[in-house]
Amino acid sequence: MKNRPGTLTFKLDSREGAAIRRALAAEQRVKLLNLLAKRAMNVNEIATSLNISQPTASVHIRVLEEAGLVGSEYVPTDRGSEKRCWATFQKLVFEAEMEPEARDELTDETQMPIGLFTSISVEQPCGLASENNIIGFNDNPQSFLLAERAQAQILWFSSGWIEYTFPGNLPPNADVLSVEFVAELCSETPLYNNEWPSDITIWINGIEVGTWMSPGDFGGTRGRLNPDWWPANSTQYGMLKTWSVDENGSRVDGNPVSGVRLSDLKLSYQRPIVVRIGNKHNAAHIGGVNLFGRHFGNYPQDLVLRTRYRLKALSEMPTSVEGDL
């Protein structure tokens, strides 16, 4: 057991930890500690406050003393002497070492419907549609502000960008290894054109991760998931692409695209992750973007943000996991 001023720290699997676990197993002893955390008390005051007998109070005090949670001394009084007790700490800190397998790689995955974007700047031709109909009006950027956008399963724009905010779901002791963004997408031109290149760039937390050149706005073969009402002469499907970032750099489908590393993204506990998709204003091919949801195109999924991480062992954490009594 190690002590710091006002703080008592112990490992749960230590001999001292076992004694403290036993000492805290009785509700009356926890209540007793709460009393002593406020002020020192004699045995009679403790017994009266807890509505128990003095012998019972003495037994509880002895268990807590043996665990190192309570200190005591005899002080003189008008009638002789009395035993005064106090809590030996202001805060308990519980430490637990994780087993090696608990530090294996874990994955957090969030699927985001394409209509739940948080910011947008697009140029026409543009539009969006649900499983059942066009949302708003074609070629009117104001349609992207309608509440019905949440139901979108395909959206398109000829230039500009669209942004999504993913929640930060990781625990405070997560050591992030990589971030992946996965989407079905392609270029955008009126109707479709299988040879219409577009330089589609992904930014994460404002950092340009990398660009993939989409070869075209794909049509001519019906998308497997498209509803019957969707015109056969329009865009039909995209390609499933994965942008990934780790400490070795950034890749698209495993192919290096930039030197941006994970540390450049400034990921932190409880901070959301913002992903932007679009054409840079100075791109060689400003060919627009089509994005597909789980009910359009060929792949039954929404936008996916996947974070791979491991849990840090307690010895790697900058501070202990603490709990107040």
DSSP string, 5-38: TTEEEEETTSHHHHHHHHHTTSHHHHHHHHHHHH
**12: Cβ–Cβ under 8 A, 6 or more apart, which residues?**
21, 94, 95, 96
**77: Cβ–Cβ under 8 A, 6 or more apart, which residues?**
none
The rounded percent of the chain whose pLDDT value lies above 70 is 92
The pTM is what? 0.68
| Mean pLDDT for the stretch of residues 175-184 | 97
List, for residues 83-131, the tens digit of each pLDDT value: 999 998 878 777 766 555 556 889 999 999 999 999 999 999 999 999 9
| Mean pLDDT for the stretch of residues 244-265 | 97
DSSP letter at 182 equals: E
Range of weakest confidence among 33-42, 135-144, 233-242, 302-311: 33-42
At 78 the pLDDT is 85
Question: Is the model's pLDDT at 314 over the cut of 90?
Answer: no
At 100 the pLDDT is 52
**Whether the Cβ atoms of residue 201 and residue 120 lie closer than 8 Å to each other:** no
Distance (Å, rounded) from C-alpha 299 to C-alpha 223?
A: 9
List, for residues 11-61, the tens digit of each pLDDT value: 777 777 788 888 888 999 999 998 998 899 999 999 999 999 999 999 999
Element (H, E) at 301: none
The first and second tokens of residue 69, run together, are 């949670």
User: Which of the two residues, 230 and 11, has the higher pLDDT score?
Assistant: 230
Element (H, E) at 56: helix 54-66
- In order of their start, the domains of the chain are 2-97 (1.10.10.10), 101-311 (2.60.120.260)
At 97 the pLDDT is 63
Sheet containing 91-95, strands listed edge to edge, beginning at the edge strand earlier in sequence? 2-4, 7-11, 91-95, 322-323
Q: Using 50, 70 and 90 to split pLDDT, how confident is the model at 10?
A: confident
**312: Cβ–Cβ under 8 A, 6 or more apart, which residues?**
103, 173, 174, 175
- CA distances 92 to 12, 23, 97, 192, 316, Å, are 12, 13, 17, 65, 20
Q: For the chain, count helices (H), then strands (E).
A: 4, 19
Distance (Å, rounded) from C-alpha 25 to C-alpha 63?
A: 11
